[in-house]
């Protein structure tokens, strides 16, 4: 017997047409670099993205060619998210926070044929333009004349037809490529297909995942150059949500203002953004009315429990903790309390919400130690392996990393986790960040989480420092809140009921800031380098 269902390809064109047809009046709001607000709609967007597809064809972009973007979050950037894949091109978002050297490497590795760039990011382009060779550079101008030799985006699409003759796309064709901003080694390319992006959007939108719908107003604080803003543009097009783009203004005050003025229901970003927002709300709790906000999605690195509690208890705001990776499109797990868990004591509810959570539909997880798969008992640690239809099976043009993919079809995440009987994943560390002291493992994440619960501590990152007797010992790097004071002894006393003696940091180093990666995560390699000659007491 054969199934009687159509062979209907899962392509982004379907999401695109849905947004244009059913949600034409729904707004797309962008904050420009000068802070003024630009408004358009999914209807207008639908026409402009097709003009872009036509223009790219005219420029000679062929099926499978990579088209790069170097831009902040705005609706013209969104046009490339659909205009490029629609004509068979591959969207390649570049992270302007990377070094010129990395950007040149990535553009050359991907062989980008065209680059679209924000006028305000032209200084970044200047840093590496001599090392790369796209055929065309197109500028998203905010009013100023475009430099000689480059094309103006508006002029490029102006004369084009607002309808694009559809290309028959196979769902397995590439639609996008992102490079992981790893802290070691060269960036690695992950190539997404139309199918993987559609399935990711479906899975991400579900009520127990991000819970998005046409009534949502979504503010992606997460940049469009971080794993396609966690796929939110695709998910929002599919469900027809209003989208609010913050442009280059990602500081707490600007984000809070947008949340209030645009009546945002769901905002998403990395913990460092939310730590700053919590700080601002704590200082001026009455300044903003953010009662429209139903959830703030936090991912990219661990959301400290104290932050989740602070938002909920002091401001009535719900944090939704999610975990993912570039290799996973990126959403892997989401931490929502299951039915029945609402009755648990407050402290237990927050403990669970600070975990990475349960795998979203279509993602499967297992934890593996040297002895094999570990039981789901909430205690046994192993490396997290994942598989599913929106998870990479290899890196683009990079055979050196083939060992990340197991023979039996799983991707090795490099995150060390426990999984409990309810299926809640808890990350104890990146495997390279775990601290091994006297043969025992110490979780830097647990120490950081606890330290960030101290009222004087704004940020904390714990790293291993070499020790002659114990091999490695934890050292805590701490940034205090403005005007707050705390001594080593106070912090030690605060931690001591929570940790075994061997797990306690040997030293506390007070800093003004903690160095960050281009994705806003704590850059532990830099901290380890900074502390490599640090003398610990023996
Ligand atoms: P990237 O591919 O740059 O997004 O980095 C993925 C890595 O970020 C994961 O393997 C984790 O180590 C870390 N990460 C992402 N989300 C979380 C989270 N919610 N909690 C802890 N670590 C996270």
Q: What is the mean pLDDT of residues 125-147?
A: 97
Question: What would you report as the CA-atom Rg of the chain, rounded to the nearest whole angstrom?
Answer: 23
504: three-class secondary structure by DSSP = coil
Q: List the residue whose alpha carbon is closest to atom 23 of ligand 1.
A: 301
pLDDT for residue 119: 98
Give 422 Cα–ligand 1 centroid separation in angstroms.
Answer: 21
The share of the chain scoring above pLDDT 70, in percent, equals 99
Are 376 and 419 in contact, with CB atoms under 8 Å apart?
yes
How is 54-66 classified by DSSP, letter by letter?
Answer: HHHHHHT--TT-E
Give the C-alpha separation, 310 to 317, whole Å. Answer: 9
Give the C-alpha separation, 389 to 199, whole Å. Answer: 7
Give the C-alpha separation, 77 to 224, whole Å. Answer: 8
Q: CATH 3.30.300.30 spans which residues of the chain? A: 435-530
pLDDT for residue 272: 82
Site to probe by mutation for ligand 1, drawn from 181, 298, 321, 323 as the one with most ligand atoms within 8 Å of Cβ, is: 323
Give the C-alpha separation, 224 to 73, whole Å. Answer: 6
CATH of 435-530, one of 3.30.300.30, 3.30.70.920, 3.30.365.10, 1.10.3370.10: 3.30.300.30
pLDDT of 411 higher than 80: yes
Q: CATH 3.40.50.12780 spans which residues of the chain? A: 12-27+40-193
pLDDT of 466 higher than 90: no
Tell me, what DSSP letter sits at residue 42?
H
Residue 469's pLDDT band (cuts 50, 70, 90) = confident
The candidate with the shortest Cα–Cα distance to 337, out of 361, 319, 314, is 319
Main-chain phi, psi angles of 157, to 5 degrees = -95, -15
pLDDT of 183 higher than 80: no
Q: What pLDDT, in 10s, does the model give residues 150-173?
A: 999 999 999 999 999 988 999 999
Please tell me whether the peptide bond between 466 and the residue prior to it is cis, using omega within 30 degrees of 0: no
Overall size of the chain counted in residues: 538
Mention the CATH class of domain 12-27+40-193: alpha beta
Element holding 474 (H helix, E strand): strand 471-480
pLDDT for residue 434: 84
Q: Which residues face 460 on adjacent strands?
A: 478
Residue 443's pLDDT band (cuts 50, 70, 90) = confident
Catalytic residue among 26, 69, 180, 418: 180
Least confident of 312-316, 317-321, 384-388, 513-517: 513-517
Residue 249's pLDDT band (cuts 50, 70, 90) = very high
The candidate with the shortest Cα–Cα distance to 65, out of 144, 175, 161, is 175
Least confident of 272-281, 474-483, 515-524: 515-524
Greatest CA separation found in the chain? 73
pLDDT of 182 higher than 70: no
Residue 357 near ligand 1, beta carbon < 6 Å: no
What architecture is the 358-430 domain classified under in CATH?
Roll (2.30)
Give the C-alpha separation, 370 to 382, whole Å. Answer: 8
pLDDT of 266 higher than 60: yes
Are 425 and 358 in contact, with CB atoms under 8 Å apart?
yes
The candidate with the shortest Cα–Cα distance to 190, out of 330, 385, 326, is 326
Residue 356 near ligand 1, beta carbon < 6 Å: yes
Residue 181 near ligand 1, beta carbon < 6 Å: yes
Give the C-alpha separation, 182 to 521, whole Å. Answer: 10
Catalytic residue among 172, 313, 432, 436: 436
Q: What is the mean pLDDT of residues 132-147?
A: 97
Give 469 Cα–ligand 1 centroid separation in angstroms.
Answer: 32
Tokens coding 432: 């390279």
Residue 9's pLDDT band (cuts 50, 70, 90) = very high
Q: What is the mean pLDDT of residues 417-444?
A: 88
Site to probe by mutation for ligand 1, drawn from 324, 356, 416, 430 as the one with most ligand atoms within 8 Å of Cβ, is: 324
CB atoms within 10 A of CB 19: 28
Q: CATH 2.30.38.10 spans which residues of the chain? A: 358-430
Catalytic residue among 79, 309, 327, 472: 327
Residue 184's pLDDT band (cuts 50, 70, 90) = low
Are 95 and 519 in contact, with CB atoms under 8 Å apart?
yes
Residue 527's pLDDT band (cuts 50, 70, 90) = very high
pLDDT for residue 535: 83
Residue 227's pLDDT band (cuts 50, 70, 90) = very high
Residue 440's pLDDT band (cuts 50, 70, 90) = confident
Give 284 Cα–ligand 1 centroid separation in angstroms.
Answer: 31
The 3 state secondary structure assigned to 201-229 is HHHHHCCCCCCCCCCCEEEECCCCCCHHH
Q: What is the mean pLDDT of residues 436-455?
A: 87
Q: What pLDDT, in 10s, does the model give residues 313-359?
A: 999 999 999 999 999 999 999 999 999 999 999 999 999 999 999 99
Are 100 and 121 in contact, with CB atoms under 8 Å apart?
no
Q: What is the mean pLDDT of residues 184-207?
A: 93
pLDDT for residue 181: 65
Tell me, what DSSP letter sits at residue 240?
T
Element holding 458 (H helix, E strand): strand 457-467
Q: What pLDDT, in 10s, does the model give residues 84-116?
A: 999 999 999 999 988 898 899 999 999 999 999
pLDDT for residue 192: 98
């Amino acid at each position: 017997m054969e199934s009687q269902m159509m062979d209907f390809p899962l392509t982004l064109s379907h999401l695109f047409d849905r947004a244009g047809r059913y949600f034409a009046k729904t707004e797309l709001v962008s904050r420009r670099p000068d802070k003024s607000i630009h408004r358009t709609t999914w209807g207008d967007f639908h026409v402009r993205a097709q003009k872009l597809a036509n223009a790219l064809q005219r420029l000679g972009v062929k099926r499978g060619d990579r088209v790069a973007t170097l831009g902040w979050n705005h609706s013209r950037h969104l046009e490339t998210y659909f205009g490029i894949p629609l004509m068979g091109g591959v969207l390649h978002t570049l992270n302007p926070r990377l070094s010129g050297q990395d950007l040149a490497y990535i553009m050359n590795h991907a062989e980008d044929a065209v680059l679209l760039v924000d006028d305000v990011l032209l200084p970044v382009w200047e840093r590496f333009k001599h090392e790369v060779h796209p055929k065309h550079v197109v500028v998203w101008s905010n009013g100023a004349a475009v430099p000689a030799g480059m094309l103006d985006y508006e002029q490029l699409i102006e004369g084009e037809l607002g309808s694009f003759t559809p290309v028959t796309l196979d769902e397995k064709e590439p639609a996008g490529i992102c490079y992981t901003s790893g802290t070691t080694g060269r960036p690695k390319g992950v190539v997404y297909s139309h199918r993987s992006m559609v399935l990711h959007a479906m899975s991400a939108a579900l009520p127990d995942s991000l819970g998005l719908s046409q009534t949502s107003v979504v503010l992606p604080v997460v940049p469009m150059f971080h794993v396609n803003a966690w796929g939110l543009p695709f998910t929002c097009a599919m469900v027809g949500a209003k989208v609010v783009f913050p442009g280059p203004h990602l500081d707490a005050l600007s984000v809070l203002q947008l949340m209030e003025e645009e009546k945002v229901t769901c905002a998403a970003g990395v913990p460092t953004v939310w730590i700053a927002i919590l700080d601002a709300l704590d200082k001026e709790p009455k300044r903003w009315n953010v009662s429209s906000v139903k959830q703030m999605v936090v991912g990219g690195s661990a959301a400290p429990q104290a932050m989740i509690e602070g938002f909920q208890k002091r401001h009535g705001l719900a944090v939704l903790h999610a975990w993912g990776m570039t290799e996973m499109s990126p959403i892997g797990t989401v931490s929502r309390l299951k039915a029945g868990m609402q009755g648990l004591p407050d402290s237990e509810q927050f403990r669970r919400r600070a975990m990475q959570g349960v795998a979203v539909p279509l993602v499967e997880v297992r934890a593996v130690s040297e002895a094999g798969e570990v039981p789901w008992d909430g205690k046994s640690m192993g490396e997290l392996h994942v598989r599913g239809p929106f998870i990479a099976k290899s890196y683009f043009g990079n055979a050196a990393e083939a060992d990340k993919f197991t023979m039996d079809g799983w991707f090795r995440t490099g995150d060390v986790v426990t999984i409990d009987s309810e299926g809640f994943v808890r990350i104890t560390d990146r495997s390279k960040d775990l601290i091994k002291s006297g043969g025992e493992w110490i979780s830097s994440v647990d120490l950081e989480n606890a330290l960030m619960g101290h009222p004087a501590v704004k940020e904390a990152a714990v790293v291993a420092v070499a020790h002659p007797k114990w091999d490695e010992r934890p050292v805590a790097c701490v940034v205090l809140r403005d005007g707050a004071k705390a001594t080593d002894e106070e912090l030690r006393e605060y931690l001591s009921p929570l940790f075994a003696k061997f797990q306690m940091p040997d030293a506390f180093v007070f800093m003004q800031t903690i160095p960050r990666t281009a994705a806003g995560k704590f850059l532990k390699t830099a901290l380890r380098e900074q502390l490599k000659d640090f003398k610990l007491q023996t």
